[in-house]
Amino acid sequence: MQADFNRLQNFVASVFESIGTPEIQAQLAAEVLVSADARGIDSHGVARLAGYVRLFDHGRLNPNPQIKIVHESPSTAVIDGDKGLGLVVAPYAMEIACEKAEKAGTGWIAVRNSNHFGIAGYHAMKALNHQMIGWAMTHAAPLVTPTFSREKLLGTNPVAMAIPALTEPAFVADFASTAVAYGKLEILQRKGLNTPDGWVQDAEGNPCNDAFAIKNGGALLPLGGDREHGSHKGYALGAMVDILSGVLSGANFGPWVPPFATAGFMSAGESVGIGTGHFLGAMRIDAFRPADEFKKDMDKWIQRFRSAQAVEGKQVIIPGDPERELEVERKAHGIPLLEPVVRDLETLANRFNVPFILA
Amino acid sequence: MQADFNRLQNFVASVFESIGTPEIQAQLAAEVLVSADARGIDSHGVARLAGYVRLFDHGRLNPNPQIKIVHESPSTAVIDGDKGLGLVVAPYAMEIACEKAEKAGTGWIAVRNSNHFGIAGYHAMKALNHQMIGWAMTHAAPLVTPTFSREKLLGTNPVAMAIPALTEPAFVADFASTAVAYGKLEILQRKGLNTPDGWVQDAEGNPCNDAFAIKNGGALLPLGGDREHGSHKGYALGAMVDILSGVLSGANFGPWVPPFATAGFMSAGESVGIGTGHFLGAMRIDAFRPADEFKKDMDKWIQRFRSAQAVEGKQVIIPGDPERELEVERKAHGIPLLEPVVRDLETLANRFNVPFILA
């Protein structure tokens, strides 16, 4: 099915309103969630809507949170999300980051007591309109083994950074600290195919090619894959994200990060902090250099890299280019939804008596 | 040869003094440089001393720089290193970062007009004594191809982060954004061995196993190796480091970053900014959480990861553990130096008439 972008976003907002989210917050949450579908990161979009509702059903999500600053300095704050939607808590935190950066040059917000925040890139990009560089990170429930570990201790822990240019579109990096996104395993599972080397390991910690490895006690591997190819670097990067999102905010961390709501995997388990955490930042360009000079140099950086001599049949890509192009295309011509996702959305429409007209 | 740590450091300081570096700065530069040897990152230690002297010989290094702040806000500054040793400019910048963090919560310094700064980890660790998290990044001359590129546009661009704990030693990540350090290629070159897959490509951009690939027009690959294994993530990380170190500071960037002084590769070439850049940061822990609570949680993080069930015969390693253990060992029992490095140092000793007693 091909869903119209605006209708899909309105439908999502209606579902969030149905569980008690105030209208403006529901619209914001829908915007963040559907931006993932528009940008081609389908695993983080409306495919997760039923999961957010399950979090609500199990008392792990507060639909009308009192988000508050619990501690701050001129360039920092810790925010308690009051068990709210990360889709709402993170934009709030990012606004504080930009306000702090306006005065102090930079703003850095550690968030606790939140939930899954959608795609990191959305939040980082919020800084662009303020002539700022945006940062966004989040930890997530453990699916990843540190180098040499058999135990899953880290999430896919993404890092995003958005950097404005002058005439060129912004540089937008947004990547998990793993060799591959979990969504790519799901595609292979559906096709009955094996994974390439270096993506997953089995329950004993041996390299394997089983697309179902995680369900069988195995794990995703950190970026790098194995020690010889630098997996200790992917592990270190994922650890940095976990410590900034979890330890610095007072949230849970490492293996204690609560799972997203997938069937049979509901309980948050033992706790060493408060909920899930994120780490967001904004850096005002002209706290370093005149913004126009910087942006002119970014144009030069982008043009030089984009026009680099490439291997035959390929082109060097600027981080953010493919997602931006897809966003234009999908906003104009619709968002493709898989059958199981459509069925999930229909179930929600029936439950909440929300009109289900997406095309 | 096994060199005594203190004697080696004094020798290095004498050489820096001989080219006109003031005594205190020469001692600092020696401390930074030899810390690389002590921590086992031999490629960034005294093996490079002759290179720094060649930079001086070719007018690219100012031994007595007037380092100055050219722009600042409460939590940021841009520092011009006046062509000084990165080994001196970066510690100066890191002090400013910590002073700013003392007042504003965090401090972020973009540095331009500097030179190679040794190991990133040294600088990040300077924040630890102030109850702060330290960050250090630097770009470097192009040896690395973005995904799909045949042209080398990025350096090995490392990221370091040091995070204090309470009873446990600090977490210290320090890693290049490439699949492998250039020093590992040199080891294979000496042994006449090929590289594993995923480390290098040839001049046409094809994967290859030639340890001399770079000398033959090839390149180091970003962390991830190839697209299927996430090289676009290593490329994005290296690009972030380049933009923060180069574009944000007003230094050169991308393929224009001036080379370190290796024979036949002296000229800085076309320029799009001023010299080489770094990016350093300090975050005061209690600008987020009471430092003791945070450090207790870091202990828990470290102990949980270190004691994780490991693959047979292995142990999960906390970033920084191997380097710290080696540092203790080498400070006590000496630093092994390869024959060609000893010969380089002897040449410097003769040229500057500096006593050469290292053992």
d(CA A23, CA A19): 11
Question: Given this model, what pLDDT does residue B268 score?
Answer: 56
Q: Which residues of A touch B273 (CB under 8 A)?
A: 297
Q: Which residues have a Cβ under 8 Å from the Cβ of B152 and sit 6 or more positions away? A: B142, B143, B144, B145, B219, B255
Q: Which residues of B touch A78 (CB under 8 A)?
A: 288-289
Is residue B325 less than 8 Å (CB to CB) from chain A?
no
The minimal CB distance from A250 to the residues B234, B289, B312 is found for B289
Mean pLDDT score of chain A: 95
Quote the radius of gyration of chain B (alpha carbons, Å): 20
Q: Tokens representing A39?
A: 């940008």
Question: Given this model, what pLDDT does residue B267 score?
Answer: 59
Q: Tokens representing B20?
A: 């006109």
Question: Distance of alpha carbon A176 from its chain centroid, rounded?
Answer: 8
Q: Which residues have a Cβ under 8 Å from the Cβ of B325 and sit 6 or more positions away? A: none
- Residues A188 and A168: beta-carbon distance below 8 Å: no
- Residues B145 and B153: beta-carbon distance below 8 Å: yes
Structure confidence at residue A357 as a pLDDT band (50, 70, 90): confident
If you measure CA to CA, which chain A residue comes closest to B147?
A: A316
d(CA B31, CA B79): 22
Question: Given this model, what pLDDT does residue A184 score?
Answer: 87
Q: Which residues of B touch A148 (CB under 8 A)?
A: 310-311, 314-317
Quote the radius of gyration of chain A (alpha carbons, Å): 20
Beta carbons of B73 and A309 less than 8 Å apart: no
Is residue B233 less than 8 Å (CB to CB) from chain A?
yes
Considering only CA atoms, which of A111, A76, A293 is closest in space to residue B246? A293
Burial of A259 (0-12, 13-18, 19+ CB in 10 A): buried
A272 pLDDT higher than 90:
yes
Beta carbons of A105 and B108 less than 8 Å apart: yes
Is residue A234 less than 8 Å (CB to CB) from chain B?
yes
Is residue A196 less than 8 Å (CB to CB) from chain B?
yes
Question: Given this model, what pLDDT does residue B265 score?
Answer: 53
Q: Which amino acid is present at B315?
A: Q
Q: Which residues of B touch A304 (CB under 8 A)?
A: 153, 254-255
A260 pLDDT higher than 90:
no
Is residue B339 less than 8 Å (CB to CB) from chain A?
no
- Residues B311 and A204: beta-carbon distance below 8 Å: yes
Q: Give the DSSP letter of residue B243.
A: I
At B200, give phi and psi (nearest 5°): -140, 165
pLDDT tens digit sequence for A73-84:
999 999 999 999
Q: Tokens representing B328?
A: 């203790």
The minimal CB distance from A254 to the residues B161, B229, B305 is found for B305
The minimal CB distance from A146 to the residues B104, B248, B316 is found for B316
A263 pLDDT higher than 70:
no
Top-confidence residue, A302 or A359: A302
- Residues A65 and A55: beta-carbon distance below 8 Å: no
Surface of B (6-65) touching A: CB under 8 A: none
- Residues A219 and A145: beta-carbon distance below 8 Å: yes
Top-confidence residue, A265 or B308: B308
Is residue B228 less than 8 Å (CB to CB) from chain A?
yes
Cβ contacts from A onto B, under 8 A: 266
Question: Given this model, what pLDDT does residue A267 score?
Answer: 59
Beta carbons of A75 and B75 less than 8 Å apart: yes
Count of C-beta atoms within a 10 Å radius of residue A92 = 22
Assessment of whether the complete model's pTM goes beyond 0.95: yes
Top-confidence residue, A191 or A161: A161
Q: Give the DSSP letter of residue A263.
A: T
Question: Distance of alpha carbon B179 from its chain centroid, rounded?
Answer: 16
| E strand map for A120-215 | 132-138, 159-163, 171-175, 200-201, 207-208
The minimal CB distance from B104 to the residues A104, A179, A205 is found for A104
Is residue A339 less than 8 Å (CB to CB) from chain B?
no
Distance between B334 CA and the closest CA of chain A, angstroms: 27
What is the mean pLDDT of the segment spanning A38-58? 94
d(CA B83, CA A171): 29
pLDDT tens digit sequence for A106-116:
999 999 999 99
A264 pLDDT higher than 60:
no
Q: Which amino acid is present at A208?
A: C
Is residue B330 less than 8 Å (CB to CB) from chain A?
no
Is residue B309 less than 8 Å (CB to CB) from chain A?
yes
Count of C-beta atoms within a 10 Å radius of residue B43 = 16
Surface of A (156-185) touching B: CB under 8 A: 159, 161, 163, 171, 173, 175-180
The minimal CB distance from B106 to the residues A108, A289, A319 is found for A108
Query: Partners of A108 in the beta sheet?
Result: A76, A281
Question: Given this model, what pLDDT does residue A354 score?
Answer: 97
Beta carbons of B148 and A310 less than 8 Å apart: yes
At A181, give phi and psi (nearest 5°): -75, 150
Q: Return per-residue pLDDT of chain B as tens, 359 residues.
A: 899 999 999 999 999 999 999 999 999 999 999 999 999 999 899 999 999 999 999 999 999 999 999 999 999 999 999 999 999 999 999 999 999 999 999 999 999 999 999 999 999 999 999 999 999 999 999 999 999 999 999 999 999 999 999 999 999 999 999 999 888 898 899 899 999 999 999 999 999 999 999 999 999 999 999 999 999 999 999 999 999 999 999 999 999 999 887 644 555 578 999 999 999 999 999 999 999 999 999 999 999 999 999 999 999 999 999 999 999 999 999 999 999 999 999 999 999 999 998 88
Helix (H, G, I), strand (E, B) or coil at A71: strand
At B160, give phi and psi (nearest 5°): -130, 145
Query: Partners of A225 in the beta sheet?
Result: none
- Residues A241 and A139: beta-carbon distance below 8 Å: yes
| E strand map for B54-104 | 68-73, 76-80
The H or E element containing residue A135 is strand A132-138
- Residues A7 and A357: beta-carbon distance below 8 Å: yes
Among the four given CATH numbers 2.60.40.3500, 3.40.605.10, 3.30.1370.60, 3.30.365.10, the one describing domain B66-289 = 3.30.1370.60
How many residues make up chain A in this entry?
Answer: 359
Q: Give the DSSP letter of residue A46.
A: G
Beta carbons of B74 and A253 less than 8 Å apart: no
Question: Given this model, what pLDDT does residue A268 score?
Answer: 56
Considering only CA atoms, which of B88, B42, B17, B58 is closest in space to residue B262? B58
Is residue B134 less than 8 Å (CB to CB) from chain A?
no
Q: Tokens representing A246?
A: 């979890």
Q: Which residues of A touch B153 (CB under 8 A)?
A: 304-305, 308
In chain B, the largest separation of any two C-alpha atoms, in whole Å, equals 55
